[in-house]
């Protein structure tokens, strides 16, 4: 039986940019992802193109991530960060001289970082446009998501939902110079009502988690293996639970294999603080450098040095297992569907390389093994709809891919305080848009900045971080800062007293979406 595999990688990070500090801890989130995920993916795409492999992947690039990848300040800081890591590996080559396993790993990191620096420079430090090249060559379909990755059903304010969607569309067209067909619902969070904004923006499809898809009314006839159309005419694809479990599951997922590199064991914590201090994300506290010498090993066992050759081999074995499982799915579906089934496998892009260091090798092995069989081929959701356009009409169930499948990650005792403040700010933004929609000059600039501050306050990342407890102080402060700046701008606009000097400072700090259109809130 013939079938399709749609791998969808969702790349997103919150907008973190602090020009007021020489070095800022949370900016390292971007630097780690570029080094361990985005540049390695570009490497693989170049290799696949050079080897003429028939790969088609879907990549969702969030507008906040693209804004950071194209920001000259962050580009310069990342270059400095990469140079520092290369210097650190040079020191590590000397320090580990008499420890053969660690010395070989230091050499591996040194060579890898040199290659990544060369690649980064070859794309003129613009990773987003690097990916755009592969969309032009046909290997990628790049899609977008909400402007600041807000959980759309929780906004409970249609003008804000509309603004999140339309600003994302405008930014995509501004950066990539073309229209976008697919839309990644942040956190795969769906509820009836998001379709109107997606329709207005001319998006054609989105993805929901399996339970949201299978709980549709009427019940999907073909499970998650064929898309649905909502009553509004948008196509919706369901996340395949089997391919998800094999990669994501804490109990049986591939990334937990003991031969893989341990994420948490890092020389930033192991070595003398004065030695690693110049290369830490924050000089005042220990943190990750990305130089890690040990494998996950087994529970209760002493950590073994990381065996790179063995880990890459295991990634190939896991790719083979993944492919065989998909082929078995096709065999079970033989004769049950009128069209070839599609297996939709969406993942966070940062899993591949950052959290799971061997993730890029897994993808590479999967791509190369796919060409050795003829039953399963890569496809993007847009291509599938072009080839097979007749599908059942049904309404998906409210859902997300977060914990417990609903929205409790973003609404609970740690973060529920955010929503009432957003409600007030959202209504006030509509008030401002209607009052000053035709303004020019400094009033127009203040209105645009009010829109940016509200968008940033709506980001799903802050309640998520508060829920997980990873950097709660930072997340709490970000929400408060953006809401306070919005309120200050609101007061100034309502009383026609714009502080131009202060406005310029805020514009320089939160400088994303230069063409933001406040009229979307009107």
- Which among 418, 392, 408 is positioned nearest to 472, based on CA atoms? 418
Contact 32/290 with Cβ under 8 angstroms? Answer: yes
CB atoms within 10 A of CB 246: 18
Helices assigned H by DSSP within 333-373: 359-370
C-beta atoms surrounding 309 within 10 Å: 8
- The answer, yes or no, to whether the previous bond of 218 is cis (omega within 30 of 0) is yes
Angle at 184 between CA 377 and CA 180, to 5 degrees: 80
Extract the runs of DSSP E, i.e. beta strands, from 362-408.
Answer: 376-378
Q: What are phi and psi of 222, to 5 degrees?
A: -115, 25
Q: At CB < 8 A and 24+ separation, what contacts does 229-232 make?
A: 229/391, 229/392, 229/393, 229/394, 230/195, 230/393, 230/394, 230/395, 230/396, 231/393, 231/395, 232/195, 232/196, 232/199
Can you list the domains of the chain with their CATH numbers? 3-70+126-261+306-405 (3.20.110.10), 418-521 (1.20.1430.10)
Integer distance in angstroms from the first to the last C-alpha of the chain?
A: 51
Spatial neighbors of 435 by CB under 8 A, at least 6 apart, are 493, 494
Tens-digit pLDDT profile for the chain (522 aa)?
Answer: 799 999 999 999 999 999 999 889 999 999 999 999 999 999 999 999 999 999 999 999 999 999 999 999 999 999 999 999 999 999 999 999 999 999 999 999 999 999 999 999 999 999 999 999 999 999 999 999 999 999 999 999 999 999 999 999 999 999 999 999 999 999 999 999 999 999 999 999 999 999 999 999 999 999 999 999 999 999 999 999 999 999 987 677 899 999 999 999 999 999 999 999 999 998 888 999 999 999 998 777 789 999 999 999 999 999 999 999 999 999 999 989 999 999 999 999 999 999 999 999 999 999 999 999 999 999 999 999 999 999 999 999 999 999 889 999 999 999 999 999 999 999 999 999 999 988 899 999 999 999 999 999 999 999 999 999 989 999 999 999 999 999 999 999 999 999 999 999 999 999 999 999 999 999
Smallest CA-to-CA distance from 71 within 128, 11, 144 is with: 128
What is the C-alpha to C-alpha distance for residues 2 and 334, in angstroms, rounded to an integer?
9
């Amino acid at each position: 039986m013939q079938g399709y595999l749609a791998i969808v990688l969702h790349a997103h990070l919150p907008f973190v940019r602090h020009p007021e500090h020489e070095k800022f801890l949370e900016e390292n989130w971007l630097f780690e992802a570029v080094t361990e995920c985005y540049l390695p993916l570009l490497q693989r795409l170049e290799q696949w193109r050079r080897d003429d492999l028939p790969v088609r992947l879907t990549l969702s690039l969030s507008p906040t991530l693209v804004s950071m990848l194209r920001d000259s300040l962050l580009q310069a800081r990342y270059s400095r960060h990469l140079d520092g890591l290369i210097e650190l590996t040079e020191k590590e080559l000397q320090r580990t001289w008499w420890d053969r396993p660690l010395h070989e790993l230091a050499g591996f990191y040194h060579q890898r970082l040199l290659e990544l620096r060369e690649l980064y420079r070859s794309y003129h430090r613009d990773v987003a446009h690097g990916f755009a090249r592969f969309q032009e060559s046909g290997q990628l379909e790049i899609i977008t998501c909400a402007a600041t990755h807000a959980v759309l059903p929780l906004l409970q304010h249609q003008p804000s939902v509309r603004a999140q969607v339309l600003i994302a569309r405008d930014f995509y067209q501004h950066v990539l110079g073309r229209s976008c067909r697919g839309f990644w619902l942040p956190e795969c969070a769906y509820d009836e009502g998001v379709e109107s904004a997606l329709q207005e923006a001319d998006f054609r499809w989105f993805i929901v988690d399996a339970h949201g898809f299978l709980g549709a009314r009427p019940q999907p006839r073909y499970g998650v293996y064929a898309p649905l159309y909502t009553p509004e005419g948008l196509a919706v694809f369901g996340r395949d639970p089997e391919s998800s479990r094999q990669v994501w599951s804490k109990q049986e997922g591939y990334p937990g294999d003991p031969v893989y590199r341990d994420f948490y064991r890092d020389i930033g914590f192991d070595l003398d603080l004065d030695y690693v201090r110049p290369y830490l994300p924050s000089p005042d506290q220990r943190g990750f450098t990305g130089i890690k010498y040990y494998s996950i090993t087994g529970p209760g066992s002493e950590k073994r040095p990381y065996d790179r050759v063995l880990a890459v081999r295991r990634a190939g074995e896991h790719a083979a297992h993944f492919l065989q499982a998909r082929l078995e799915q096709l065999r079970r579906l033989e004769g049950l569907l009128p069209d070839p089934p599609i297996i939709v496998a969406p993942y966070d892009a940062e899993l591949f390389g950052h959290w799971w260091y061997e993730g890029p090798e897994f993808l590479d092995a999967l791509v190369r093994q796919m060409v050795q069989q003829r039953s399963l081929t890569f496809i993007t959701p847009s291509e599938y709809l072009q080839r097979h356009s007749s599908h059942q009409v049904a309404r998906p169930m409210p859902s997300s891919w977060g914990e417990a499948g609903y929205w409790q990650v973003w609404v609970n005792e740690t973060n529920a305080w955010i929503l009432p403040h957003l409600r007030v700010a959202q209504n006030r933004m509509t008030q401002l848009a209607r009052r000053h929609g035709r303004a020019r000059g400094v009033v127009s600039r203040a209105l645009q900045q009010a829109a940016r501050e509200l968008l940033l306050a709506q980001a799903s990342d802050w309640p998520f971080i508060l829920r997980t407890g990873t950097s709660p102080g930072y997340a709490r402060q970000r929400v408060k800062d953006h809401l306070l700046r919005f309120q200050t701008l609101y007061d100034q606009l309502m009383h026609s007293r714009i502080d131009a000097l202060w406005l310029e400072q805020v514009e320089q700090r939160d400088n994303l979406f230069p063409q933001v259109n406040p009229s979307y809130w009107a």
